[in-house]
Amino acid sequence: MFKSLRVGALAAALMAATSLTAVAEVVLHRDNGGEPETLDPHKTSVTTENNILKDMYEGLIGLSADGKLIPGMAESWTISDDGTVYTFNLRDAKWSNGDPVVAGDFEYSLRRIMDPATGAKYATVLYPIKNAEKVNKSELPKEELGVKAIDDKTLEITLESPTPYFLGLLQHQTGLPVHPATVEEHGTDFVRPENVVTNGAFIITEFVPNSHVTVVRNENYYGNDDVQIDKVVFHNIEDRGAAVRRFEAGEFHIVDEVPTEQMAHVKSTMADQLLVAPYLGTYYYALNHESEKLKDPGVRQALSMAIDREFLADEIFAGTMSVAYSIVPPGIDNYGEPAYAEYKGQSMIDREDEARELLEAAGYNESNPLKLELRYNTNENHKNAAIAIADMWKPLGVEVSMLNTDVKTHYAHLRDQGDFDVARAGWIGDYSDPQNFLFLVESDNTGFNYARYNNPEYDALMDKAAATLDLEKRADIMKQAEVLFMRDLPFIPILHYSSKKLVSDKISGYEPNLRDEHQSRWITVSE
Amino acid sequence: MLRYVIGRLLTAIPTLFLIITISFFLIRIAPGGPFDLERPLEAKVMENLNKIYHLDEPLWMQYVLYLKNVAVLDFGPSFYLRDFSINELFAQSLPISIQLGTSALALALVVGGFMGVMAALRQNGPGDYSIMAAATLGVTIPNFVVAPVLTLILGVWLGWLPVGGWGGGAFVNKILPVVTLALPQIAVVARLTRGSMIEALRSNHVRTARAYGLSAYLVIVVHALRGAILPVVSYLGPAAAALLTGSVVVESIFGIPGIGRYFVQGALNRDYTLVMGTVVVVACFVIVFNLVVDLLYALLDPRVRYD
């Protein structure tokens, strides 16, 4: 009995020793910032899913480490002269089960996301594809979608109208393919680790809800030789303080988002591992254009002018946000410099004086204050920002009352045309193009135009930009639209988002980029 | 006895039915729905989602449907974690929460009970005061403070224990969460035990036992403690139900995939089935543990009989 135990122990020790001497497995521990709701690339809607999906799947267009569009499953492509027909030539690539990736897979996948029966939350991103909207609304059968596999290696996508940012849309997580045979066989259960077949650098082995997702090297991936990491564990935790502590203890290599309240601590102890970079998003206050109190353009300008954005960025958000004087974030593709507010660069004192005059002209002062209700979704940072802004407005004769609700209630209220004066909101771009910010306040955009801004001139400019092929001319037209935006202020742009990461010094190949997307295939881990 | 148990379990059915009914309609009052995002859905897509999840039917129909499903223990699909059904989520998370909760409960009972007895035996002495001071501290410091402090000291600075994660249920991963869960319970158990123990030590039957010259061990453990433990048992019933169904705070801070977080997640995301599922599970635990307490009473207190 004892002998056999000893032998067993010896064997176990030997096995452990040999597996250690074999090439050590390279594991990357990524904090994912939250729980993925689904790992079905056609039901996906949030970044916590994007991080994982982009490791598992590869679309026609890929993204380099520094955030540039690069060939993915498509090796090359041509665009017709009128900008509406894209022809993609696929590379020799395989699914994780060894099947070749063919054009038909993309035809199947794009039809699937538009099929109303799929219940895709983010299908709208791909609406520029011909008939996409009609298919998604059940007005046409999915076979009518403007996507055609000419042969196994050639895919043709026809658009409704020229869309200069279309390649960027295909790079979005909704453009990822699924393996048709697996979906047909398992239905919605095709996402299960035991069923799923993927074409990206990694394949999933484990999905524990409220804990983690594990993916491992996909030997069939065409770029497998250049991938250093064998296994990635995505830790789906929401508690930001815990994430920082786990990073400090060496359990995580990357923290997805450093919370504002930890910035001072992080800066003093781990400054060399902190990466703060511009991110494609704007934090704004929507002004209700149907509210009598905000009808006067002077009043709206005064409110915007009096906000000390530098103070908010540095003090309230501890340097994790940057000031915004335009709705479109600087550095975006296909644009150039955004149309900044005139008072950018002006001193705060002058701006306050000017704002006071404007409000005075509208009949408001400290004895006859303008009473506004400010709504925000419950969050410590939003609260602090709201208090600071109310304080900045107060000396001008603006009296703010605040109302906070949970995030679902907040956005449901704005969307259902509920009554409000001023409301906090934020927008993170889905693709790097000014259209993705300026379209928010088109008059027919009932979902996002919280301000109920209705300016035919603005709409006309946006329509004209959509029909313009020449990128420079198009940028000019959109800039004219942004000038109108900054004049009428449906939203007051306050801050631009930044990504704020902790990246261990064991990590290389992690480059900050505007899309804040970092596929594990580019990352290397050293011991 | 068996008749009593069956009777109690049968009365649980209307209770559960009431709880399900009230919470089913309460959660629907909250504004917004499970598929409301910041980016609104196409009307048609929303219609389809609603159809898939039967949200397009009249509320009373949905209610009947839900009752039918619950009757066969099918809690439906999760609206938020769309790759899973509620049953699958619970199958993964409930055992973890039960493991943690049982360990914490056992720790609290042993340590708290021991401390309470010790304090009672040294009533009004320095030992008593220091134990009671520690217990007061244990009750007053909330777990969202205790947990980060413990992880900071033992995990980050000293590096002895993992800061978070379940680690497939590894022992080292359980230590901090169990201690965090147990601390306030230790304190309560210690205080309750001390109080009732002091009373018991003065009671007639203990005095008689002493007069017989029984050993201190027999007097304290067999005669005094048996009576003194009754208030602790009645406290532990609901406490066990709460502990075994997980803790939002502890699970979030330690990154443990237990059931506790689902309640909050479900409510915030308007994941109706998830909220309902957790309500039913918690209700069942409360009902069962109250029954267990009553049965334990019969065992411990010769005056209580259910025949």
What residue spans define the domains of chain A? 27-234+504-525, 278-499
Q: Which residue has the higher pLDDT, B223 or A14?
A: B223
Between CA A29 and CA A23 the distance in angstroms is 19
DSSP-derived secondary structure for A219-272: TT-TTGGG---SEEEEE----HHHHHHHHHTTS-SEES---GGGHHHHHHH-GG
Put simply, the chain A residues between 119 and 138 with a CB less than 8 A from any chain B CB are 119-124, 133, 136-138
Residue A283 pLDDT grade (very low, low, confident, very high; cuts 50, 70, 90): very high
How deeply is A283 buried, as exposed, middle or buried, from its count of CB atoms within 10 A (0-12, 13-18, 19+)?
buried
Between CA B201 and CA A373 the distance in angstroms is 64
Specify whether the CB–CB gap between A116 and A137 falls below 8 A. Answer: yes
Specify whether the CB–CB gap between A201 and A220 falls below 8 A. Answer: no
* Secondary structure class of A217 (helix, strand, coil): strand
Residue A430 pLDDT grade (very low, low, confident, very high; cuts 50, 70, 90): confident
**Cβ contact, residue pair A39, B83, below 8 Å:** yes
Between CA B159 and CA B214 the distance in angstroms is 49
Between CA A135 and CA A88 the distance in angstroms is 22
Full strand arrangement of the beta sheet holding A147-151: A74-79, A85-90, A154-158, A147-151
Residue A416 pLDDT grade (very low, low, confident, very high; cuts 50, 70, 90): confident
pLDDT, position B29: 86
| CB < 8 Å to A251, chain B | 162-165
Provide mean pLDDT across the span A63-83. Answer: 94
Provide mean pLDDT across the span A45-72. Answer: 93
| Residue A148 token pair | 């055609």
* Secondary structure class of A497 (helix, strand, coil): strand
pLDDT, position B5: 84
pLDDT, position A169: 93
pLDDT, position B43: 73
Specify whether the CB–CB gap between A146 and A158 falls below 8 A. Answer: yes
CATH topology of domain B92-300: MetI-like fold (1.10.3720)
| CB < 8 Å to B32, chain A | 408-409, 411-412
Q: Is the pLDDT of residue A507 over 90?
A: yes
pLDDT tens per residue across span A329-343: 998 988 989 999 999
pLDDT tens per residue across span A204-247: 999 998 899 999 999 999 999 999 999 999 999 888 999 999 99
Give the bridge partners for A400, in sequence order. Answer: A372
pLDDT, position B38: 62
| Residue A235 token pair | 């830790």
DSSP-derived secondary structure for A293-332: GG-SHHHHHHHHHT--HHHIIIIISTTSEEE-SSSSPTT-
Between CA B269 and CA A238 the distance in angstroms is 14
pLDDT tens per residue across span B246-290: 888 899 889 899 998 898 888 888 899 999 999 999 999 999 998
Angle B150-B240-B255 from CA coordinates, rounded to 5°: 40
pLDDT tens per residue across span A122-145: 888 899 999 999 998 889 999 999
Q: What Rg value do the Cα atoms of chain A yield, rounded? A: 26
Closest approach of B252 to chain A, Cα-based (Å): 6
Between CA A480 and CA A494 the distance in angstroms is 20
Of the CA atoms within 13 Å of residue A481, those in its CB half-sphere come to: 32
**Cβ contact, residue pair B255, A248, below 8 Å:** no
Which residue, among B136, B134, B132, B114, has the nearest Cα to B123 in the 3D structure?
B132
Provide mean pLDDT across the span A298-319. Answer: 94
**Cβ contact, residue pair A411, B164, below 8 Å:** no
Which residues in chain B land under pLDDT 70?
37-40, 42, 307
For an interface test with A, give the residue of B42, B53, B158 to mutate (most A CBs within 10 A). Answer: B42
Provide CATH code, domain A278-499. 3.10.105.10
Give the bridge partners for A326, in sequence order. Answer: none
pLDDT tens per residue across span A252-266: 999 999 998 899 999
Which residue, among B72, B27, B52, has the nearest Cα to B278 in the 3D structure?
B27
Q: Is the pLDDT of residue A3 over 70?
A: no
Specify whether the CB–CB gap between A496 and A283 falls below 8 A. Answer: yes
Between CA B16 and CA A228 the distance in angstroms is 54
Give how far Cα A6 sits from Cα of A2, A14, A20, A177, Å.
6, 12, 21, 52
Between CA B83 and CA B55 the distance in angstroms is 18
| Residue A421 token pair | 């004066």
Which residue, among A497, A474, A439, has the nearest Cα to A125 in the 3D structure?
A439
| Residue A173 token pair | 């997580």
Between CA A420 and CA A76 the distance in angstroms is 50
| CB < 8 Å to A250, chain B | 159
Instruction: Return left, alpha or beta for B73; rule: phi > 0 is left, psi -120 to 50 is alpha, else beta.
Output: left
DSSP-derived secondary structure for A345-357: TS-HHHHHHHHHH
The fraction of chain A above a pLDDT of 90, given in percent, is 76
Which residue, among A321, A327, A326, A279, has the nearest Cα to A430 in the 3D structure?
A279
**Residues found in chain A:** 527
**Residues found in chain B:** 307
For an interface test with B, give the residue of A178, A207, A211 to mutate (most B CBs within 10 A). Answer: A211
**Residue A212 phi, psi (nearest 5):** -155, 165
Specify whether the CB–CB gap between A308 and A494 falls below 8 A. Answer: no
Specify whether the CB–CB gap between B117 and B229 falls below 8 A. Answer: no
Single-letter amino acid, residue A259: P
**Cβ contact, residue pair B30, A409, below 8 Å:** yes
Domain ranges of chain B: 17-71, 92-300
Q: Is the pLDDT of residue A21 over 70?
A: no
Closest approach of B19 to chain A, Cα-based (Å): 25
| Residue A518 token pair | 């970092």
For chain A, the average pLDDT equals 91
- Helix (H) / strand (E) element for B19: namely helix B2-29
Provide CATH code, domain A27-234+504-525. 3.40.190.10
A61-63 vs A370-377, strand pairing mode: unpaired
pLDDT, position A121: 83
| Residue B139 token pair | 């009750």
Give how far Cα B24 sits from Cα of A43, B46, B68, B90, B276, Å.
26, 21, 13, 19, 7
Q: Is B140 on the interface with A (CB under 8 A)?
A: no
How deeply is A203 buried, as exposed, middle or buried, from its count of CB atoms within 10 A (0-12, 13-18, 19+)?
buried
Specify whether the CB–CB gap between A226 and A214 falls below 8 A. Answer: no
Provide mean pLDDT across the span A157-182. Answer: 94
| Residue A136 token pair | 């998604």
Residue A10 pLDDT grade (very low, low, confident, very high; cuts 50, 70, 90): very low
